[in-house]
Structure 1
Amino acid sequence: MATHAPESVAPEGVAPEDVRRVACVGAGVIGGGWVAHFLARGYDVTAWDPAPDAELRLRRLVDAAWPALTQLGLADGASRDRLTVTATLEEAVADAEFVQESAPEKLDLKRDLLARLDAATPPGVVIASSTSGYPMTDMQTDAGGAGRLVVGHPFNPPYLIPLVEVVGGVRTTAEAVAWAGRFYEVAGKSVITMDREVPGFIANRLQEALWREALHMVANGEATVKEIDDSITEGPGLRWAFMGPMLTFALAGGEGGMAHMLDHFGPSLKSPWTRLEAPELDKTLYDAVVSGCDEAAAGRTIADLVAERDQGVIDVLRATGRLPGGRKEGGK
């Protein structure tokens, strides 16, 4: 790990509550989801992506997300007309008061792009990366103004799933991390501000453990794709929508809580159930997972499934009283 000390410069831009213009660099599934979210929260958004058909795909994604966002409740002044797609990265960030980078997960690309963004973005403006795996320490190596670079890790789709994990690298200032965390809250997100870099962050670590187990069960013929998905949606997933795994297990201990749970079930932790090492993704497993998903889709298109997922998330958020708040109300 690099040994740089965090830089001492605090963000010089506007306060999180006063941001009006956001730049989104990278307009794929995640970047486009961020664009839709920020537009729905009433921001002006400039976007850039190097793909020749980026604007067409981006506007199509925003249009597809808009009905769900309308159900959630649009902020005052929210409009798809407030999106501008620029020809260059420099144009996109020229007047930005916050930048969200969502480029593909390639370390060299991230390093180069963050350095370019740092050079082109007005001084003091915080730049966040949507990376799902790389620590900011590894990505900020080529940026002169690395103190303002943070991770703002969302979950798909960013316009619906509230969580954002915020963390800096060794050269990131504490002020930049705090500013980013507050900005996301104002923008209607639920924020975990991490005090240290963790490989895979928090939620991805938990997701990946479940994903590995699922692949092993498919590979060994122990469960079908549909059985695995049903086991979550009809089982623990119903609890996890409002209570996490730790408190859920504490309740399994009855009146004795987690202490009784650990005393009673602790020995089973050594049972050879888990296969946390990733299985070999050979053609047999690949085909089984792909065909299993096709069967589980039962004729529904990707667009159908996206609409079903979005409506399901909205219903869960509504049922649990966690519909995101608008920017004008100042947060969640």
Structure 2
Amino acid sequence: MKPPVRAAAVVGAGAIGVSWVELLTRHDIPVVVADPDPAAADRVRKSLGDQAGVTFVTDPARAVADADIVFEAGPERLDVKQELFARMDAAAPLDTLLTSSSSGFTPTNIQARCAHPERVLVAHPFNPPDLVPLVEVVGGTRTAGAAIERTVDILAALGKEPVRLHRELPGHVANRLQAALWREAYYLVQEGVVSVADLDRAIASGPGLRWALLGPIATQHLSGGEGGLRHVLEHLGPPMVAWWADLGEPTFDAALIDRLVSGVEDEVGGREEALRESRDHALRELLTLKARAGLQEDQ
């Protein structure tokens, strides 16, 4: 399915922005990249090569002037995003979709200074966006339903798996789920229950494998046999409630940060680039396998 996009803009050429550019150019969509950093163009070219159809500017207003959709991936600071969206809103055609990749800010706050907030929304990808299918889509109090639907359609045509949120929350959905896991993970490390390396191993070699295929609720359902999720909740739910009551609240201080950093350096120190390349290769293989198994739409 060819994406219904003539041209796109990516504002911010950090890791997320570059990954958006890679995804768009893969679908032969002309992209204007805006970033005030003079080195941004070299950074994009280093990652993508000399891609045809990519233009570089420093002014976001120029970038959005002829775009059907904009993917903002600037600094995660609300004041910066509000100013940036006000400028883009003043320059972009009225039918241009203005989306933010913000990992935590709500679209209502982002669109606060826009004259046309009806086309402003969050389309939060997971890093790297050119590989990981998930994009969380959520509108603000003044976002039009039609803008959300158009964004979902475009993302689906780009091979993404958009998840529409029906309520704004700081951190959206997936980051809140991650934060819940990280809170208990940090607590367990802080309490000396487990090392950083063994904690990572416990997830990557256990529940993480199943969650990558079906997600936590569907996995629970399958584990219940013929009774499914109802059996699991009725028979194993009460012990789980007891575990909830015993979950910890780590003290997020310098000592915890040092302990976590030291632990992960012992685990992967010096191998980061090789691990990143191996991870991305494995992600591609996993997505192919999921599509072949009927667990993932073919990318």
TM-score, normalized by the shorter chain, greater than 0.5: yes
Indicate the TM-score class for this superposition, using the shorter chain for normalisation: over 0.9
Is residue 143 from structure 1 mapped to residue 114 from structure 2 by the alignment?
yes
Match of 1:55 among 38, 41, 45: 41
Provide the C-alpha distance between the structure 2 equivalents of 1:29 and 1:158, rounded to a whole number of angstroms: 9
**Kindly, what percent of the aligned residue pairs are identical?**
41
How far the C-alpha of 1:236 sits from its partner, in A, is 0.8
Please give the secondary structure, in 1, of the residue aligned with 2:128: coil
> How far off is 1:183 after superposition?
0.7
More off after superposition, 259-268 vs 169-178: 259-268
Indicate if the aligned counterparts of 1:41 and 1:188 stay in contact, CA closer than 8 A.
no
C-alpha separation between the residues in 2 aligned to 1:248 and 1:323? Answer: 15
- Equivalent of 2:18, from 32, 40, 60? 32
Q: Deviations over 1:261-312 (max 9, x none)?
A: 11111211332465364x2332221122112222211531x32222111011
Q: Which runs of 5+ in 1 are unaligned?
A: 1-15, 64-78, 326-331
Where does 1:294-313 land on structure 2 (aligned, <5 Å)? 294-297=265-268, 299-300=270-271, 302-313=272-283
Query: In the alignment, is the contact (CA less than 8 A) between 1:209 and 1:276 conserved in 2?
Result: no
Q: 1:213: which partner in 2?
A: 184
The residue number in structure 1 matching 2:167 is 196
The amino acid of 1:191's aligned partner reads P
CA distance in structure 1 between the partners assigned to 2:21 and 2:133 by the alignment: 15
- In the aligned structure 2, how far is the partner of 1:59 from the partner of 1:323? 31
Please give the alpha-carbon distance, in whole angstroms, between the structure 2 residues aligned to 1:92 and 1:229: 41
Hey, what's the Cα distance between the residues in 1 that align with 2:277 and 2:151?
30
Query: Given the alignment, which residue of 155, 159, 169 partners 2:130?
Result: 159
Query: C-alpha separation between the residues in 2 aligned to 1:147 and 1:153?
Result: 18
C-alpha distance in structure 2 between counterparts of 1:101 and 1:143, whole Å: 15
Q: TM-score if structure 1 supplies the norm length? A: 0.83
Q: CA deviation at 1:250?
A: 1.8
State the distance in 2 between where 1:220 and 1:52 align.
Answer: 46
Distance 2:91 2:150 in 1: 20
Q: Give the AA of the match of 2:100.
A: S
What whole-Å deviation, never above 9, does each CA across 1:22-79 have from its counterpart, x for those lacking one?
Answer: 100011111111111111122111101122322222322335xxxxxxxxxxxxxxx7
8 A contact 1:162–1:324 mirrored in 2: no
CA, structure 1 residues 266+323, in 2 after alignment: closer, same or farther (shift >3 Å)?
Answer: closer
Please give the secondary structure, in 2, of the residue aligned with 1:197.
Answer: coil
TM superposition shift of 1:233: 1.4
Q: Residue 316 of structure 1 is aligned with which of 271, 282, 286?
A: 286
Conserved 8 A contact 1:25-1:49: yes
Q: Deviation digits for residues 221-259 of structure 1, max 9, x if unmatched?
A: 111111111111110111112111112112232221111
Amino acid at match of 1:275: L
Q: How many residues align?
A: 294
Counterpart residue number, 1:275: 247
| Structure 1 position 87, deviation (Å) | 2.7
Q: Distance in 2 between matches of 1:161 and 1:255?
A: 32
| Two-structure CA RMSD over aligned residues (Å) | 1.9
Distance 1:264 1:18, change over 3 A: closer
Amino acid at match of 1:57: R
Residues 37, 58 of structure 2: 8 Å contact kept: no
Match for residue 251 of structure 1?
222
Deviates more, 1:152-161 or 1:242-251: 242-251
